[in-house]
Each structure stands twice: as structure tokens, then as C-alpha cells.
Structure 1
Amino acid sequence: MARITASVYTSHVPAIGAALDLGKSGEPYWQPLFAGYEPSKAWMKENTPDVIFLVYNDHANAFSLDLIPTFAIGTAASYQPADEGWGPRPVPAVEGHPALAAHIAQSVIQQDFDLTVVNAIDVDHGLTVPLSLMFGQPEAWPCKVIPFAVNVVQYPVPSGARCFALGQAIRRAVESFEEPLKVQIWGTGGMSHQLQGARAGLINADWDNAFLDRIIADPVGLSQVPHIEYVREAGSEGIELVMWLIARGAMSDIAGGPPPKVLHRFFHVPASNTAVGHLILENG
């Protein structure tokens, strides 16, 4: 059977991708951030999965305000980098896993989660920046990826509790797939940031680090945090952090297994106008 071996959590700031693509990762501003991912890249070389189930949010590239699915799973064989207004990132195309994606869609929908099945989609920085942070700049991504887009852009958005329960459904789906695949689930977005309005530029490092503490040790309690707290404490775009709860809900301790191992934790301020958080949890 397939199994989830680890969960990875990271911010997906578009400026990080630009810094890599333009050869600026060694500059004084960016070097501390990329140094924080070096242990993760080393771990990933030794623990490359067969498939990554990558939870992210589209930034009005694949989905416009005309059509906004709450949860959308990519079932295609491949995905091209999206043109976000200045050309697509110079990164490899993403190879999908249609069989596992279709199985997860079938299983999760039968568990009463209404997913939108997407057979063709371009993927933006929300998905490609995490891959770049964990794999560097390869000629091809070393594993297959299932994109899972969550609406955290246009209200109403799903609650933390709903996302946490969805992660549990995804774990059950993966474990019922008969091929012996190693799967990682990634939660991306955040941490605290606000891009507009009177509080533009807001960063709340204390709240962010408390969030990291709780997603490790108190994910059930964290799943009950209401939307208004994310917005008040982490800014209007801080709501992206509910996507981390999908990945955390898929870990085996939530189903009665041992606590996960914390393999790496990193926090950095700032990257552009965002606080960057990163965590790797391995199933016990």
C-alpha cells in the first residue's frame, strides 16, 4: 500500500522564486533565507518520495474570480509553469500521477468532501517555489507531483477544522492505494503578511512561531482557530496557513500513531514583505 512518510511546510513567496531565477540567492539579503533550506535539500536527497501531494493556492492564474473552487485536485499527466504576467518561471514542467490523483479524488469525494477535479491546469509560484526551495534548480523534478489548490483568496474560505479533517481523509485515501508508493504531503503559504491596506507590510513573528509550536504539538487545538484570528494576527494573507493544516491532518499521529519527528524548523524575516516559515515532520 502507499503511505505518507513525511509532511513538509513552507512559505511560497514569489520573490523567492525570482531571486533564484535571477541568480540572486547568494546576495546578502537572500543568503540567510536560502541557507535555512540547505538542511532540507540534503534531507530531500536522501528521502525523495515517489509522489508529492502539494497543497497550495492559486493566485488568480489558473482560476479567476469567474470560477473559484474551494478544493481542486489536479489529475493531469503534466503541468506547465504559469505565466504570472512576466513570463513563466524557468523551471521544469511538473509531472503528475494521474492514477493516484484519481484514486484520491474518488476516495475523498466518497468521504463527503466535494473536490473539483481538474484535468488541465498551469501551476504558479504557489507550487513551483516550494519545489525550488526543496530541490534547487534541477533539469527535471525528481518525483511526481499532485497539485491540490485551496481557495484562500476570495471569501468564503474553508475553516482550519475543515482543512484538518480533509488531511485525514487524504491519508486514508493514500493508504488505500494498492501501489507501494512513498508519498509526502506538503502544506504551503504564509506565514504572516499583508499585501494591501493600512496594515500592508504587517509581520507578526511571535504569532508565527507560536503557530509553528502548535502545529507540531497541538494540531487539534490549532485547527479550531477561527478565520478572524488569522486575519487579525497574521494579516489578510496569513489565512494561507490553513493549508498547513491539511498536511498536518494527514500525519499518522492524528490516527493514533506515534508523534512525528521534527527534522527541521526554520523561521526568517523578511522575504520581500513576508515572514517565512518552514518545517519538516517525519512519521514515526
Structure 2
Amino acid sequence: MAQIVGGIFTSHVPAIGNAIAKGLQDDPYWKPFFDGFHPVHRWLAAAKPDVAVLFYNDHGLNFFLDKMPTFAVGAAARYENADEGWGLPVMAPFPGAQALSWHIIEHLVASEFDITMCQEMKVDHALTVPLALSWPGADTRPVTIVPIAINTVQHPLPSAKRCLALGRAVHEALRSWKSDERVVVFGTGGLSHQLDGQRAGFINKDYDHFCLENLGPAPDALTRHSAVDIIELAGSQGIEILNWIAARGALGESVREVSRNYHIPISNTAAATMLLETVTALQKVA
């Protein structure tokens, strides 16, 4: 079976991509955020994952309001990036873990999830920025990818409980994948932020820390709020915590926190990074 080595949870603000492109990692404004990735880099160098399964939300590059799937899973051989209008450099295509994608899709459908299967799929900053943060300056693609997009834009939105269940079904699929590949899971977006309307600039530190404290040991605590409740608590774009919740479900029950970073603001956003490592039965006994 495939081995799930851990999960990386991080913000995906387009401004982060611009900071990377301009080499601003040590700028006083950006340094507190980028410093949070040093433990992630060390961990990835040791863990050596082969595949990344990424839970993220599309911002109009692949889906728009006229066609918005609740859950969409990529099943492409490769994934193109394109100009989104943020001034971000267009990245080279990402290779897809196509066989694993179909295995996950088949398991999700058998588990009664109605998903959209995408044999062609563009990926935006919600996926490209976290990968660039995790493997800075990589000339080649260190992992193949399985992108899983969650609707955080068009109401009605999926519930946190449903997203956690989705992640747990993906975990089952990964555990049944007959391969020795090492898998890292990503949850991207957030934390609290609202970019428009009367509450533009809204940040809720208390809710953010509630999420960070419970994500590892008690993810079900994050499902006590409805999607509308989360928008009230975290802002209209803070609903991206759904991606984190789904990714946490994909890790399984036993995890330990390796590192955590929380910094505000970045582009009116509460930016956070968390690294959770899966714990095997043998490690628990030790």
C-alpha cells in the first residue's frame, strides 16, 4: 500500500507568489511567513514524497460560477498553469499521478461521493504557490500530483463535516493503493480573511487559533460550524479552511505536529503554515 507520510497546510495568497518571483523572502514584511517553511523544507528532504495530493479551491482559472462542481478530482497526465491576472509567472506544467487519480475517483464514487472527473484541468495559484513554497527553486518537479478542488465560492457550499468525510474517503483510497509510493497531502488557503465588502480586511485570530489547535488532535471540532457560520467567523474567503479540513481527513487518525507558523497580515490575510506527520502503529508503541 502507499505510505502517507504527512500533511502540509498553508496559505496560498497570490501575493506570496509575487514575493517569490521578486526574491522578497528576507524582506521584513515577508520574512516571518517564509521562515515558517524552513522546518517544512527539512522535513520534505527527509520524507522524500513521490506524490502530492492537494486539496485546494479554484479561483476561476478552471471553473467559474456558471459551472462550479462541489468536488472535482483531476485525472490528467499533466496540469497546465495559466495567467490569472495577478502578475504571477506562468509555471511549467505539473505531472499528474494519473493511475492514482483514477483509483481515488473510483473509491470516492463507490463511497457515494458525487464528484466531477477532470481529464483536463488547469491549476491556479491555490496549488502552484504551496508547491513553490515547499520546493523553492526546484528546476524539476519533485512529485507527481493529484489535485482535488473544493467549491468555496458558489453557494450552496459543502459542509465542514462533508469535507472531512471526503478526506477520510481519500485516506481509505490511499491506504488501498497497491504501490510503495510515499504520499504527502496538502491543504491550502486561508486562514481568516475577507477581501471585499463591508468587512474587507476582517481577520479573526481567535478562530484561526481554534483551527490550529484542533486540526491535528481533534479535527471533528472544526465541523461544529456550518459553512455560513465559518464565513461569519473567518470572512468570506476564510471558508477555505474547508480545504484544510479535507486534507486533515486524508491523513488518518494518528498525527503529530512538527511545526506551526502564524503571521498577520499578508495581503489582508491571516497566513499560516502547519506541518503534521503521520504516526504509524510502530511509532505509537515506541
User: TM-score band, normalised by the shorter chain?
Assistant: over 0.9
* Offset, 1:175: 1.2
Q: Are positions 1:266 and 2:261 aligned together?
A: yes
For 2:10, the aligned partner's letter is T
Aligned to 1:171: 171
Cα deviation, 1:227-261, whole Å, max 9, x if unaligned, reads: 232111211111110111111112221xxxxx311
Q: How does 1:159-238 map to 2 (within 5 A)?
A: 159-238=159-238
For 2:189, the aligned partner's letter is G
Aligned to 2:103: 103
For 1:186, the aligned partner's letter is F
Cα deviation, 1:189-230, whole Å, max 9, x if unaligned, reads: 110000111110011112101111011222112222212321
Aligned length: 279
CA distance in 1, matches of 2:252, 2:277: 10
Aligned-pair Cα RMSD in Å: 1.3
CA distance in 1, matches of 2:62, 2:90: 18
CA distance in 2, matches of 1:32, 1:3: 32
Q: Does the CA-based 8 Å contact 2:18-2:88 persist in structure 1?
A: no
CA distance in 1, matches of 2:88, 2:217: 38
Aligned to 1:72: 72
**Farther off after superposition, 110-119 or 172-181:** 172-181
Cα deviation, 1:54-78, whole Å, max 9, x if unaligned, reads: 0100001111222111111111111
Q: Does the CA-based 8 Å contact 2:79-2:121 persist in structure 1?
A: yes
For 1:216, the aligned partner's letter is G
Aligned to 1:55: 55
* Offset, 1:140: 1.7
Q: Does the CA-based 8 Å contact 1:91-1:137 persist in structure 2?
A: no
Q: Are positions 1:118 and 2:88 aligned together?
A: no
Runs of 4+ aligned structure 1 residues displaced above 3 Å come to none
Q: Does the CA-based 8 Å contact 1:51-1:144 persist in structure 2?
A: yes
CA distance in 1, matches of 2:243, 2:166: 10
CA distance in 2, matches of 1:238, 1:128: 19
Query: 1:217 is paired with a residue of what secondary structure?
Result: coil
CA distance in 2, matches of 1:219, 1:39: 23
* Offset, 1:127: 0.2
Q: Which runs of 5+ in 2 are unaligned?
A: 280-286
CA distance in 2, matches of 1:88, 1:237: 20
CA distance in 2, matches of 1:142, 1:172: 24
CA distance in 1, matches of 2:75, 2:6: 22
CA distance in 2, matches of 1:45, 1:72: 30
Q: Does the CA-based 8 Å contact 2:11-2:271 persist in structure 1?
A: yes
> TM-score when scaled to structure 1?
0.95
CA distance in 2, matches of 1:87, 1:62: 18
Query: 1:34 is paired with a residue of what secondary structure?
Result: helix
Cα deviation, 1:79-107, whole Å, max 9, x if unaligned, reads: 12121025662433211110000111011
Q: Are positions 1:33 and 2:29 aligned together?
A: no
Aligned to 2:89: 89
For 1:158, the aligned partner's letter is P
